[in-house]
């Protein structure tokens, strides 16, 4: 998402500071920005959250309906994750259907949720092969300052936990809370001129050579990963990012609650 | 218009509506200016259960370029409902309704912005409905006007907007979702308060000419109330900035 140009002098300054273990906003290299989560933000959604990670600001809403399951998973509910990078959020976002950047974020968030079996999809089956709960998780970015991977992951974690399945409205018995089994939390780091920084800002993402997102669960296992951007990591760097992500994800999980 | 049959009593024996409002009473309105970081100007509006964000970028280079006007800036507006803002999930992306609303909002705003100051430029207005409960185009336009002012774009005035409607054969102000579903008429309108010009007007349903006159009268009055809340939001925004500067 770096369709912006940055002055060479600023880029050098960021590099120089990182080499000394410092960042433009005063954080340490392994430090997240302030995180705030407001659940049940949208009254018309079954579950929702507004998440602010530094100056990145997103709104997640979950809508549920009854539909038919996929043929190969007749006894499982359906999950769909969608990210909208709307032009409100940054001057270089354009309106239109989700592009490659938005789709990548949505898929990485989706993998974390799906592979950890965070949502018990079997509990979202109403009648095998016929009727299951269809779960649309839509994420709108309203202000963009980097690290959408983690902001969106946190938003979906919080929104799912606040979701009430609207069974009564659809004549399918009593409402019940979303069957949530664990919390897969992602932590993203970028490699900038040989230094690794977590929870990158937009400026840091613009000068980054490579990016790695690691989604881990509370038992310390890895549930999803995604390497991005044109550069590369050494295997030592990847191990360091995984270990640090595991430690950082605990703090994030505490805030999600 | 919904126009469905119902047993709901929309006006009780005391002349009050389901939510206890008088026929010419607004829902509670809250407006905040400057709520986003990246946008040049922004505003958040809550009108009853409506939640709306508006952001303004510009004046900036006009895309697509063939829309450029050598004499003035153009105002491009995108009104969008978030998928979860309504009862059944709305598919993301523009539909015929949102394209039309975007068009009339841009045209309304064109009346107050000194577009001739910025030839060839574009002023882009983005309206996102986070939560909808009838009257979103008016809430959206009200928010957009505040966001334009927050962006520092020269304007001759703000634009407050409100809808008047008819339920149970009574002309009422600012219909909520329940009233709108069974409404007999809907008249969204927006004005330029300093001149009294009407810059947005739509109507669908069924009104006598007398009822329409009445609708215009209470609508104009309500727009002036919205106008005061818009101005107050901008004053609070600048008051905060002044306080910081003094430190």
| Tens of pLDDT, residues B210-228 | 999 999 999 999 999 999 9
pLDDT tens digits, A5-33:
888 999 999 999 999 999 999 999 999 99
User: For chain A, what is the domain count?
Assistant: 1
User: What count of Cα atoms within 13 Å lies in the side-chain half-sphere of residue A113?
Assistant: 30
Residue B156 region by backbone torsions, left for phi larger than 0, else alpha for psi between -120 and 50, else beta: alpha
For residue A212, give both structure tokens: 């790695």
The span from the CA of B8 to the CA of B11, in Å, is 9
Domain that residue B149 falls in: 29-246
CB contact under 8 A, B38 and A136: no
In a domain, A66, yes or no: yes
- SS3 for B72? strand
Residue B243: its pLDDT value, please? Answer: 67
Residues on chain A touching B148 (C-beta within 8 angstroms): none
CB contact under 8 A, B55 and A65: no
Question: Which DSSP state fits B48?
Answer: T
For residue A71, give both structure tokens: 């043929």
In a domain, B17, yes or no: no
Q: Give the ipTM of the model, two decimals please.
A: 0.93
pLDDT tens digits, B52-89:
999 999 999 998 999 999 999 999 999 999 999 999 99
In a domain, A213, yes or no: yes
- SS3 for B49? coil
CB contact under 8 A, B84 and A62: yes
Domain that residue A108 falls in: 8-256
- Closest to B38 (Cβ–Cβ): which among A90, A95, A97? A90
In a domain, A232, yes or no: yes
User: Which residues is B123 bridged to in the sheet?
Assistant: B75
pLDDT tens digits, B187-200:
999 999 999 999 99
Chain B residues with CB within 8 Å of chain A CB: 36-39, 42, 49, 51, 53, 55, 57, 60, 78, 80, 82-89, 92-94, 124, 126, 128, 130-133
- Closest to B82 (Cβ–Cβ): which among A43, A91, A138? A138
- Closest to B87 (Cβ–Cβ): which among A44, A61, A143? A44
In a domain, A211, yes or no: yes
CATH number at residue B100: 3.30.230.70
CB contact under 8 A, B83 and A61: yes
Determine phi and psi for A256, rounding to 5 degrees. -60, -40
- SS3 for B103? helix
In a domain, B49, yes or no: yes
* Burial call B194-223: b when 16+ CB within 10 Å, e when fewer: eeeebbbeebeeebeeebbebbbebbbebb
Of the listed ranges A79-88, A127-136, B173-182, B238-247, the least confidently predicted one is B238-247
In a domain, B65, yes or no: yes
The span from the CA of A73 to the CA of A61, in Å, is 25
- Average pLDDT of the residues in B135-140: 98
CA angle, A147 then A150 then A156, to 5°: 135
Residue B63: its pLDDT value, please? Answer: 87
The span from the CA of A184 to the CA of A252, in Å, is 10
- Please name which of A210, A66, A228, A52 lies closest in space to residue A141, comparing C-alpha atoms: A52
Which stretches of chain A drop beneath a pLDDT of 50? Answer: 2
- Average pLDDT of the residues in B22-31: 97
Q: Are B191 and B206 in contact (CB under 8 A)?
A: no
The span from the CA of A152 to the CA of A149, in Å, is 5
Residue A2: its pLDDT value, please? Answer: 47
The span from the CA of B57 to the CA of B36, in Å, is 11
CATH number at residue A161: 3.30.230.70
Residues on chain A touching B82 (C-beta within 8 angstroms): 42, 59, 61, 138, 140
Question: Distance (Å) from the C-alpha of residue A147 to the closest C-alpha of chain B?
Answer: 15
- Please name which of A82, A183, A184, A169 lies closest in space to residue B84, comparing C-alpha atoms: A82
Do β-strands A131-143 and A164-165 pair in parallel, antiparallel, or remain unpaired?
Answer: unpaired
The span from the CA of B200 to the CA of B188, in Å, is 7
DSSP characters over A167-210: TGGGTSSS-EE--B----EEEEEEEETTEEEES--HHHHHH-SE
In a domain, B11, yes or no: no
With CA atoms as reference, the chain B residue closest to A43 would be: B131
- In percent, the amount of chain B with pLDDT more than 70 equals 95
CB contact under 8 A, B86 and A82: no
Residues on chain A touching B92 (C-beta within 8 angstroms): 82, 84, 97, 138
User: For chain B, what is the domain count?
Assistant: 1
């Amino acid at each position: 998402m770096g369709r912006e140009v940055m002055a060479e002098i600023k880029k050098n300054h960021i590099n120089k500071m990182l080499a000394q273990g410092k960042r433009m906003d005063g954080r340490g290299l392994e430090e997240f920005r302030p995180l705030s989560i407001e659940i049940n933000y949208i009254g018309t959604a079954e579950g929702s959250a507004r998440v602010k990670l530094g100056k990145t600001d997103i709104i997640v809403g979950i809508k549920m309906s009854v539909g038919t399951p996929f043929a190969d998973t007749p006894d499982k509910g359906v999950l769909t994750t969608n990210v909208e990078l709307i032009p409100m959020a940054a001057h270089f976002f354009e309106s239109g259907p989700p592009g490659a950047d938005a789709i990548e974020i949505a898929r990485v968030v989706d993998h974390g949720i799906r592979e950890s079996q965070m949502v018990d999809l079997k509990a979202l089956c109403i009648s095998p092969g016929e009727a299951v709960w269809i779960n649309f998780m839509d994420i709108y970015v309203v202000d963009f300052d980097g690290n959408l991977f983690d902001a969106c992951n946190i938003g979906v974690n919080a929104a799912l936990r606040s979701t009430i399945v609207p069974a009564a409205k659809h004549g399918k018995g009593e409402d019940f809370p979303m069957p949530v089994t664990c919390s897969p939390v992602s932590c993203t780091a970028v490699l900038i001129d040989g230094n690794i920084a977590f929870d990158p800002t937009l400026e840091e993402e613009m000068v980054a050579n490579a990016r790695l997102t690691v989604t881990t669960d509370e038992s310390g296992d890895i549930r999803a990963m995604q390497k991005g951007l044109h550069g590369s990591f050494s295997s030592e760097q990847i191990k360091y990012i995984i270990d640090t992500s595991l430690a950082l994800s605990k703090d994030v999980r505490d805030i999600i609650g | 218009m919904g126009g469905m049959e119902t047993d709901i009593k929309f006006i009780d024996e005391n002349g009050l509506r389901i939510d206890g409002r008088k026929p010419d009473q607004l829902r509670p309105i809250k407006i905040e200016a400057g709520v986003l970081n990246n946008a040049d100007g922004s505003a958040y509006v809550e009108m009853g259960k409506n939640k709306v964000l508006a952001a303004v970028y510009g004046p900036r280079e006009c895309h697509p370029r063939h829309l450029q006007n050598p004499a003035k800036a153009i105002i491009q507006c995108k009104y969008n409902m978030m998928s979860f803002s309504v009862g059944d999930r709305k598919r993301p992306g523009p539909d015929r309704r949102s394209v039309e609303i975007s068009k009339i909002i841009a045209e309304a705003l064109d009346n107050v912005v000194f577009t001739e100051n910025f030839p060839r430029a574009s002023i882009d207005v983005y309206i996102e409905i986070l939560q909808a409960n009838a009257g979103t185009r008016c809430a959206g336009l009200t928010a957009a006007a505040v966001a334009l002012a927050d962006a520092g774009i020269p304007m001759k005035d703000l634009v407050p907007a409100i809808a008047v409607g008819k339920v149970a054969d009574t002309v009422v102000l600012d219909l909520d979702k329940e009233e709108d579903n069974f409404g007999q008429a809907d008249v969204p309108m927006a004005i330029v308060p300093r001149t009294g010009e009407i810059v947005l007007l739509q109507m669908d349903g069924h009104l006598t000419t007398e009822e329409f006159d009445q609708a215009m009268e209470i609508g104009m009055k309500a727009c002036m109330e919205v106008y005061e809340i818009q101005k107050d939001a901008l004053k609070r925004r600048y008051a905060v900035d002044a306080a910081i500067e003094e430190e």
